[in-house]
Amino acid sequence: MHRFVVAAGLAAAASGVLLHAQARRAADPMAEGAQNVRLVGHHDLQGRESLVVTVKADQANGSWVYVGHHENFWDEKPKFNPLTKRDEWNGTSILDIADPAKPRLVWHIPNDENASSRGVSVVYDYTFDGSGRDYLIRNSEFGKTLEFQIFDITSRSTDPSQIRLVAEITGTPPNSCGQGCGGAFIERAHKGWWSQESGYFYSAAGEPGFRSTLAQIFDLRDPRNPKFVGRMWIPGQKEGEAGYEGQYAHHPNVDEENRRVYVGYRGAGHTASFDISNPAQPKMVWMVDMNPPHRGPHTVSPITYTAQPNMMKDALPRTYAFVTDEAGGAEDMSPCRGVRSKAYMMDITVETRPFPVSTWEVPVGTFCQKGGRFGPHQHAETVNGRINRFADKLAWIAYFNAGVRVVDLTDPFRLNEVGYYLPKTTKHSHPIEKGQPSVIQMNDVDIDHRGLAYASDRTGAGLFVLEYTGARRPGTN
């Protein structure tokens, strides 16, 4: 009798959950599935392939989101921009998000060719040059010229047609690291971060004398006259050094307050931290190679805990590095021949002895049969233009064909998913590779001052504004 009552209760509960899920899907026609995350707003971004999202708002300048676009890899044609009535190559989109339910595209800064300007970073009310103006820096890679371009965007809310290019960074000084070392960027000028606090720009680009991409520091206190400051690399990256495994610096994550830079190295399994007390001569603090079983670290964020489940007070505070791999190898593509890309935590409290403490991933389920990439790409490393301190212990992770996932970091030893949002493809979606089915590929996510998340799709489905609606529930996967 008791078993029958329990079974009946479970069946009723399951039925209620099913009806609730069906109602939620009906209420949100853009979602294939969702849990504890709701869609606040959406913009199609003119169907442009989108990668990096940067959100920045303040009382004086309003609320804005900047989207860096990939090259048009589908039909290799420029797209029509109704704002200018012209066909334009993918570049950088600027949206007003004063009303997050109705993001408004105010301008698109096109490229001159089919190049990738995936990276974008901004500063406001700039005081270093005495101008009080607002600037944007973006990368240009895979085109004829590898560079970082600086734009004055002060007029974006009044007359965006007056946005102007003011400077370019095309390389480092020749022979600045030995004979033949340094010079015009090679291989790529990938991504960077412009510090509002110091005026320095931390980039990731290739240089003569090095194998693949390393990290650099430029002084942009005068944005019209960029100056090279220093560079960071791990053993094996410089020509002639032993230990090269294909690693390249994806991008730096900068903690100015604590004088640290954190870098993940794609192509291998390295993560590293650098002391930037002297930006002209950064010093490597620690390095870990997690390959195998991990491959291709993309985003590395420091998180300090003053309270932690099952941890004695005399062991606190503790600092961890939250690392997200980028799913990109053949094993992460449909049909997923052995998925290895994950997110994980490393204890870096004693910087000379970092060690891993936990891993987290989305169960494979049906994702390997959907097409495209399955696995993480990036977690939100900034909040409103500042380094993410994870005050709420929630991590937003862009997870390619598994949508956007929300993970509770309350216990760094037991990372626990508490929500997700999986969009449907849209009329602008296209396959990541020709001959494959169209599938969502959520690429990047950032957080605004309201706690809302902004996530991009690299196949043209647009920008999704999301809100976490659930409670944090510590536990296991």
Q: How would DSSP label each residue in 75-112?
A: S---EEETTTTEEEEEEEEEEE-SSTTS-EEEEEEEES
Mean pLDDT of the chain: 92
At 473 the pLDDT is: 52
Q: Can you tell me whether residue 243 is helix, strand or coil?
A: coil
- Chain segment 282-312, per-residue pLDDT in tens: 999 999 998 887 878 999 999 999 999 989 9
The predicted structure's pLDDT at residue 472: 60
What's the chain's length in residues?
477
Q: In angstroms, rounded to a whole number, what is the distance separating the alpha carbons of residues 302 and 4?
A: 50
Return the pLDDT at 295: 79
Res 292: pLDDT: 82
Question: What pLDDT band is residue 476 in, cutting at 50, 70 and 90?
Answer: very low
Quote the pLDDT of residue 143: 77
Nearest one of 219, 224, 221, 188 to 204, comparing CA atoms? 188
Identify the residue with better confidence: 331 or 415: 415
Q: Cβ neighbours of residue 292 under 8 Å, at least 6 residues apart?
A: 269, 340
State pLDDT tens for residues 378-396: 999 999 999 999 999 999 9
Distant-in-sequence, close-in-space partners of 305: CB < 8 Å, separation ≥ 6: 311, 316, 317, 318, 319, 320, 412
314 Cβ contact list (under 8 Å, min separation 6): none
DSSP 3: H
- Given a cut of 70, whether residue 26 has pLDDT beyond it is no
Instruction: Provide the pLDDT confidence category of residue 14 given band limits of 50, 70 and 90.
Output: very low
pLDDT at 339: 74
Nearest-angstrom CA–CA distance, 53 and 324: 17
| pLDDT at residue 8, rounded to an integer | 38
The tens digit of pLDDT for each residue in 161-213 reads: 999 999 999 999 999 999 999 999 999 999 999 999 999 999 999 999 999 99
Residue 237 predicted with pLDDT over 60? yes
Q: What pLDDT does residue 21 have? A: 44
Which domains does the chain possess? 34-468 (2.130.10.10)
Residue of higher predicted confidence among 17 and 118:
118
pLDDT of residue 23: 46
Average pLDDT over residues 6-15: 38
pLDDT reading at 6 higher than 50: no
Residues 425/432, Cβ–Cβ less than 8 Å = no
The predicted model gives 264-272 an average pLDDT of: 95
28-83: pLDDT as tens digits: 999 999 999 999 999 999 999 999 999 999 999 999 999 999 999 888 999 999 99
**Strands of the 260-266 sheet, one edge to the other:** 248-255, 260-266, 270-275, 283-289
